[in-house]
């Protein structure tokens, strides 16, 4: 199928929400005898390409895993570099995001981030809050388990305040207390760099998500790989536990 045709997939059948575990920056750099930081820099370029393709396809929600609660275990140098890279790019790209009608959301604990980055993130979320185009969720200092614990605490507080009764607590209430409140659950989860694991990403939300793993390293990710993932997704029978 030509690229032009791919952009005319049946919109109804396309995923409404794609989530991506952007993995393999380090291996990409290693293959080129470059420092890991060069891999992260190239990873940002891949992210920009990906956002463009997702917008061209008209997919309403994209969630990308940028930094996990476990990534603090990395050497301080690498962590600092990643934080600076994110801050610098956010600063440079904010007007572009806004002009493209993108709404930025951060999934994760902002309090744990360096203050300069946190302020930049808050400004970007505030500036783009009213935008009606692509919803871009960036998971940053994010862990699926800590998100679930956070939701449990928020609901416990609502019970103590008398706003919710224990018997009222259901999956909908639980979902409404997650960072992804109000958004559809991911239809398709893509992981680059070949690992067959979830690494604490969106544990609640991916209960019925279709998973697609590619060996392509994140900095090499491009529209052709997205099309490959989507074409595979379109061939699957989503049964949700039923007989079809």
- Cα separation, 242 vs 240, in Å, equals 6
Tokens for 169? 């607590």
In 40-98, DSSP assigns E strands to 61-68
The partner residues of 17 in beta bridges, in order of sequence, read: 61
Cβ partners under 8 Å of residue 69, min gap 6: 108, 109, 141, 142, 143, 146, 200
- Choice among 5, 10, 71, 237 that is catalytic: 71
Contacting ligand IPE (CB under 6 A), which of 65, 179, 221, 227? Answer: 65
* Cβ-based nearer residue to ligand IPE, 87 or 155: 87
Tokens for 224? 């052709």
* Cβ-based nearer residue to ligand IPE, 221 or 227: 221
- Cα separation, 220 vs 25, in Å, equals 9
CA atoms within 13 A on the CB side of 213: 9
Cβ partners under 8 Å of residue 78, min gap 6: 36, 37
Axis-axis angle for helices 115-128, 76-99 (nearest 10)? 20
Contacting ligand IPE (CB under 6 A), which of 50, 53, 68, 214? Answer: 68
Binder of residue 197, out of ligand IPE, Mg ion, none (CB less than 5 to 8 A by kind): ligand IPE
* Cβ-based nearer residue to ligand IPE, 82 or 183: 82
- Candidate segments 15-23, 38-46, 206-214, 222-230, binder of Mg ion by CB under 5 A: 15-23
Q: Is 232 a catalytic residue?
A: no
**What is the nearest approach in angstroms of Mg ion to the Cβ of residue 193?**
6
**What is the nearest approach in angstroms of ligand IPE to the Cβ of residue 59?**
20
Contacting Mg ion (CB under 5 A), which of 23, 93, 147, 187? Answer: 23
Contacting ligand IPE (CB under 6 A), which of 54, 66, 106, 183? Answer: 66
Our finding on whether 26 is near ligand IPE (CB under 6 A) is yes
Contacting ligand IPE (CB under 6 A), which of 197, 207, 224, 236? Answer: 197
3-state secondary structure of 91: helix
Q: Is 167 a catalytic residue?
A: no
Rounded to 5 degrees, what are φ and ψ at 234? -65, -20
Per CB under 6 A, residues contacting ligand IPE are 21-27, 65-68, 71, 82, 193, 195, 197, 199, 218
User: Which residues belong to the active site?
Assistant: 23, 71
């Amino acid at each position: 199928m030509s690229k032009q045709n791919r952009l005319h997939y049946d919109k109804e059948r396309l995923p409404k929400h794609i989530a991506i575990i952007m993995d393999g920056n380090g291996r990409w750099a290693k293959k080129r005898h470059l420092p890991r930081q060069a891999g992260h820099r190239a990873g940002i370029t891949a992210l920009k390409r990906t956002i463009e393709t997702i917008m061209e396809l008209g997919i309403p929600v994209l969630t990308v895993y940028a930094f996990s609660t476990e990534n603090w275990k990395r050497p301080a140098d690498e962590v600092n570099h990643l934080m600076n890279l994110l801050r610098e790019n956010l600063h440079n790209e904010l007007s572009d995001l806004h002009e493209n009608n993108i709404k930025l959301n951060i999934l994760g604990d902002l309090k744990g981030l360096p203050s300069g980055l946190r302020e930049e993130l808050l400004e970007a979320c505030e500036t783009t809050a009213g935008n009606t185009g692509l919803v871009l969720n960036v998971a940053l200092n994010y862990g699926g388990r800590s998100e679930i614990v956070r939701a449990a605490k928020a609901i416990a507080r609502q019970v103590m305040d008398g706003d919710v009764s224990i018997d009222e607590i259901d999956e909908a209430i639980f979902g409404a207390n997650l960072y992804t409140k109000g958004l559809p659950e991911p239809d398709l989860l893509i992981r680059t760099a070949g690992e067959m694991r979830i690494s604490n990403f969106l544990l609640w939300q991916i209960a019925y998500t279709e998973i697609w793993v590619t060996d392509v390293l994140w900095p090499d990710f491009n529209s052709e790989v997205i099309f490959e993932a989507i074409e595979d997704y379109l061939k699957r029978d989503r049964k949700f536990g039923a007989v079809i």
